[in-house]
Structure 1
Amino acid sequence: MPTPPAKPIGVLFMAYGGPESLDEIAGYLSDIRHGRPTTTAVLDEITNNYRMIGGKSPIMGLTKAQIDGAMAHLNPPGEPERFKAYLGMRHWAPWIEETVGQMLDDGIEQAVAIVLAPHFSSMSIAKYQAKVKAGLELYRGDIEFSYVDAYFDADLLIDAFAARVREGIEAFPEEEQDEVHVVLSAHSLPVRILREGDPYQDQLWTTARLIAERAGLREDQWSWSYQSEGRSPEPWLGPQLEDHVPTLQDERGIDKVVSLAIGFVSDHVEILFDIDIEAQKAAKERGMTLVRPPSLNDDPRFVRLIAELVEGQAAEAGWIASDVRAASAGAPTMPMPEGTTSPV
């Protein structure tokens, strides 16, 4: 059995990042665009989007709350400190590379790295992991990192999302709840990822099936959509949420919708603007009622899952005893809803 580590094991929590004020948006967009110039029109549009959700991204505070919740499980009161938490953002401060430098300064020798996003893609999780390696190269140091790649079928994740689905449905009068249609969604990526064999869409659809089953949805009671597609000219995965919602009414007569983003674990502009404003507008223009239940944020099930994933990864690396509960047990899958195209 592994002996307790002489030094705490580092835990590098990573998230996308977001501007803390309207003045930071230009720099934020520049980082996302790898220094390519942003047109005035796009900058004004994005700035207005953030203005409409309160003038900044809430992701920093929410991510810290998630970390605090996970660390309360990882380092119980009165016990020796086994883990030390660090936060790195992909596109804003604190930058992942600089956080890795801080970990080196602190003498961290072993660390678990986990992205606060459940689904792996070469265009998402892999980019975070590349930044960790870039940080080690930049600061010429060595930390043994063990990476949590994905947790899209984790039982606690499915349970938390299914509870949100039920919460959304229960926002309607009891006599109307059987008529409510649930739309599950995630951030779109370019269609080319399918040709490249990227697992992103398969993982998303597995999560969706498990949530629908856990929430007790009929096959015809839910559907899939993407959202927040990028501005590049190449085709992106669809259908887009603001287009899909009106189509539900046109083709199936649905006018009561619960919209839940399952590719995100906390509120940010892709939820507060793209769903609460854009998709909500599309629904209202048709006389439809759209309800968005709360994001996971610091839901107790989610923060416990993150802690269990970290413990499990550290145990797999041989740094702690492997007596932790499995965090990724899923449930049997179910078919995609009628009319949904299978993954390419």
Structure 2
Amino acid sequence: MDLLLPYDALVLLSFGGPESAEEVMPFLRRVTAGRGIPDDRLEAVAHHYHLMGGRSPINDQNRALLDALHAELRRRGIAVPLLWGNRNSEPFLVDTLREAHEHGMRRVLVLTTSAYASYSSCRQYREDIAEAVATLADEGRTIVADKIRQYATHPSFARTNARLVTDAVRAAGQPDDALLRVAFVTHSIPVGMDDTSGPGDGEGNLYWHQHDELSHVILDEAGITLDRNLTGSLVFCSRSGPPSQPWLEPDVNDYLEGIAKDGVTDVVVAPIGFISDHMEVRYDLDVEAAETAERLGLRMTRVPTVGVDPEFVSGLVDLTEERAAEAREEPVDHPAWPGEAMPSTCRPGCCPNLRVAKSAACGTD
């Protein structure tokens, strides 16, 4: 039996990014549509892309992930087609699903390139799935899309990150624990978005909590492996929005300023909030944070993202098999470490859209 039945295809859904200088501003306008952000502010962000030749690294990384997923699926004897759609750049999700329908596919499984619970990292993807499915329905095309659960709490994600941080601490070459810190970096989000992250009947702040819990687990695992007493903090990057709106803090650069004043000489920067080295990593960390560290006299070691690490990719395929078994109504184990497994079908009120009510797929509301 094909382990991904009843699905006709597996769809990788990503944020997307420009592939040329001419695509940068249209891409940024799509990303910020409906927020009233003027072009002059977008131009400041566009500068980051132009420093990289006008090309975001994210699409090439998606291509690499597709290749890695394809290899792992074939290794397991799973012959399901593997498709790719983006939210904000070609190939757009609606076009991918339309083509899938034209080839006779009627039920697909979606794997997103975002691991955590929040509006921007989960529900917004679900809104885009719902919009694409509705657009096709208006064209007379019926297609069903399910998704795997968010995987920030899947053991493969934690184990891979812990191993990468352990290797980076070892490579940093600073034997004195008092002189070394580990900065666990993720994308900042508005405080209100974090307050409402997680199910509607939950306590909120699940986005922050998942990162915080993972960072502590990684410190413990690396410390045990290296026989060290490591210290670290959760910090944030890529803040946007008006200054009057509170976002999660501290910013990674402010954190570096603080530890330098405390006499720390070495910092290991671990981007656990991202699965690949896209713009927030390549610019915010490899350019801005690196410049800050150099100015402060800090030796900075940047940890790789999980990317196409075989253990991480194998875990993603485990999650596709898990979701397919759920769809077949078979008994399913939901391994989780640290924390609890998130459901593949989100509960009512989960990670709400605080600006406008929109339909979202793969949920019960």
Give the corresponding residue for 2:257: 246
2:303 corresponding residue in structure 1: 293
Which residue identity lines up with residue 112 of structure 1 in the other structure? L
Equivalent position of 2:164 in the other structure: 164
Where structure 1 has 5 or more consecutive residues not aligned to the other structure, the ranges are 334-344
Superposition deviation, residue 311 in structure 1: 1.0
1:24 — aligned with what? 23
Change (3 A) 1:44 1:80: closer
Contact 2:7 2:324 in 1 (8 A): no
Distance 1:271 1:80 in 2: 33
- 1:75 Cα deviation after fit: 3.0
* SS of equivalent residue, structure 1 residue 216: helix
Question: % of aligned pairs identical?
Answer: 25
**Alignment match of 2:266 (pick from 230, 252, 256):** 256
CA separation of 1:4/1:180 partners in 2, compared to 1, >3 Å: closer, same or farther? closer
1:75/1:143 Cα in 2 relative to 1: closer, same or farther (>3 Å)? farther
Match of 1:336 in 2: none
Native 8 Å contact 1:242 1:282 kept in 2: yes
Measured in 2, the distance between the counterparts of 1:119 and 1:260 equals: 16
Distance 1:89 1:68 in 2: 17
1:119 aligns with: 116
SS in 1 for 2:146: strand
Q: Which runs of 5+ in 2 are unaligned?
A: 197-203, 341-365
- Paired position in structure 1 for 2:190: 190
Equivalent residue number for residue 125 of structure 2: 128
Superposition RMSD on alpha carbons, in Å? 2.6
The residue number in structure 2 matching 1:138 is 135
Query: Where do residues 303-322 of structure 1 align in structure 2 (5 Å cutoff)?
Result: 303-318=313-328
Q: How many angstroms does 1:142 deviate by?
A: 2.7
Q: 1:84 aligns with which of 81, 85, 91?
A: 81
**Secondary structure of 1:170's aligned partner:** helix
Report the alpha carbon displacement of residue 103 of structure 1 after superposing the two structures with TM.
2.0
Counterpart of 1:65 in structure 2: which amino acid? Answer: A
Greater shift after overlay, 164-173 or 21-30?
164-173
1:270 is matched with 280
**Stretches of 4+ moved more than 6 A in 1?**
2-7
Query: Structure 1 214/261 Cα, relative in aligned 2: closer, same or farther at 3 Å?
Result: same
- Where 1:50 maps in the other structure, the secondary structure is helix
| AA of the residue aligned to 2:266 | K
Cα–Cα, structure 1 residues 331 and 46, in superposed 2: closer, same or farther, change >3 Å?
closer
Q: Call closer, same or farther: CA 1:305–1:80 in 2, change over 3 Å.
A: closer
Asked if 1:150 corresponds to 2:150, the answer is yes
Task: Report the equivalent of 1:202.
Answer: 209
Q: Helix, strand or coil for the counterpart of 2:9?
A: strand
Please name the residue that 1:216 is paired with. 223
Structure 1 counterpart of 2:89, one-letter code: W
Deviation at 1:51, TM superposition (A): 2.7
Q: Residue type matched to 2:142 in 1? A: D
1:12 and 2:11 aligned? yes
Tell me if structure 1 keeps the 8 A contact 2:118–2:194: no
Structure 1 residue 4 displacement after superposition: 7.0
Amino acid at match of 1:23: E
Using structure 1 for the length normalisation, give the TM-score: 0.86
Alpha-carbon contact 1:29-1:38 (below 8 Å) kept: no
Counterparts in 2 of 1:212 and 1:143: CA distance versus 1, 3 Å: farther
Looking at structure 1, the residues matched to 108 and 43 of structure 2 have their Cα atoms a distance apart, in angstroms, of: 40
The answer to whether the Cα contact below 8 Å between 2:13 and 2:112 also exists between their aligned partners in 1 is: yes
Shift of 1:119: 0.3
Q: Is the 8 A contact 2:117 2:150 kept in 1?
A: yes
Instruction: Number of aligned residue pairs: give it.
Output: 326
Inter-CA distance 277–96: structure 2 relative to 1 (3 Å threshold)? same
**1:97 to 2:94 alignment:** yes
Q: Give the conservation status (yes or no) of the 8 Å contact 1:125–1:149.
A: no
The SS at the match of 2:304 is coil
Paired with 1:8 and 1:195, the residues of 2 have a C-alpha distance of 35
Give deviations 1:241-263, integer Å, cap 9, x for gaps: 1111111122x321200111111
> Aligned-pair distance for 1:16?
1.0
Cα deviation, residue 214, structure 1? 2.2
Aligned-pair CA distance for 1:40: 4.9
Alpha carbons 2:21, 2:53 under 8 Å: kept: no
Alignment partners' CA distance in 2, 1:186 and 1:62: 18
